[in-house]
Amino acid sequence: MKTPMKIAIGCDEAANAMKDCLKAALLAQGHQVTDFGTHDHQPVLYPDIGIAVAQAIARGQAERGLLLCGTGIGMAIAANKVPGIRAAQAHDTYSAERAALSNDAHIITIGARVIGIELAKSIVQTFLAAQYVAGPRSQPKLDALAAHEQRLRQAGDSG
């Protein structure tokens, strides 16, 4: 097994059961998992959880993050609001691998209403096993993203 990681995980009420299954699998593999909720099926504001997970990664409290909701879309949007974070939606192992290898993603998002738990486990394992290595194709793109993000932050707007 690869070296255990610190993983932040979070979900909304639509994905609580999937989160609990993934968390148990990760703990069984020796990973340290910080669970940002939710812990039941009561409605929550998914942006609050997505932002909390992304901030934990931005602060260095976790190496990777997993965010789950009905589709994975809302959590990706929320996490990507945190400066410096790259979150990618993944509903297959190829996109999970590319998220890490080509885009140096910190977080993947998964839709619990889109895929089943066994595929979700495979996606998570693929994502955690893939490691970004700076190269001539991907690094200029990531540098451009960082430069745009910095410019937009300094401008104080989205223009």
Instruction: List, in order of start, the domains of the chain with CATH numbers.
Output: 6-132 (3.40.1400.10)
The question of whether 69 is a catalytic residue gets the answer yes
For the whole prediction, is pTM greater than 0.85? yes
Q: Kindly state the tokens that stand for 82.
A: 């945190």
The whole-number average pLDDT for the span 11-26 is: 98
What local confidence, expressed as pLDDT, does residue 142 receive?
A: 77
pLDDT tens for residues 108-159? 999 999 999 999 999 999 999 998 877 777 787 877 877 787 888 888 765 5
The whole-number average pLDDT for the span 91-97 is: 97
What number of other Cβ atoms are within 10 A of residue 158's Cβ? 5
What local confidence, expressed as pLDDT, does residue 14 receive?
A: 96
Between 45 and 145, the higher pLDDT residue: 45
Q: What is the 3-state secondary structure (H, E, C) of 75-104?
A: HHHHHCCCCCCCEEECCCHHHHHHHHHCCC
Q: How far apart are CA 131 and CA 33, in angstroms?
A: 19
What local confidence, expressed as pLDDT, does residue 157 receive?
A: 62
Catalytic residue among 11, 53, 56, 69: 69
Give the bridge partners for 34, in sequence order: 8
What local confidence, expressed as pLDDT, does residue 158 receive?
A: 55
The whole-number average pLDDT for the span 78-92 is: 96
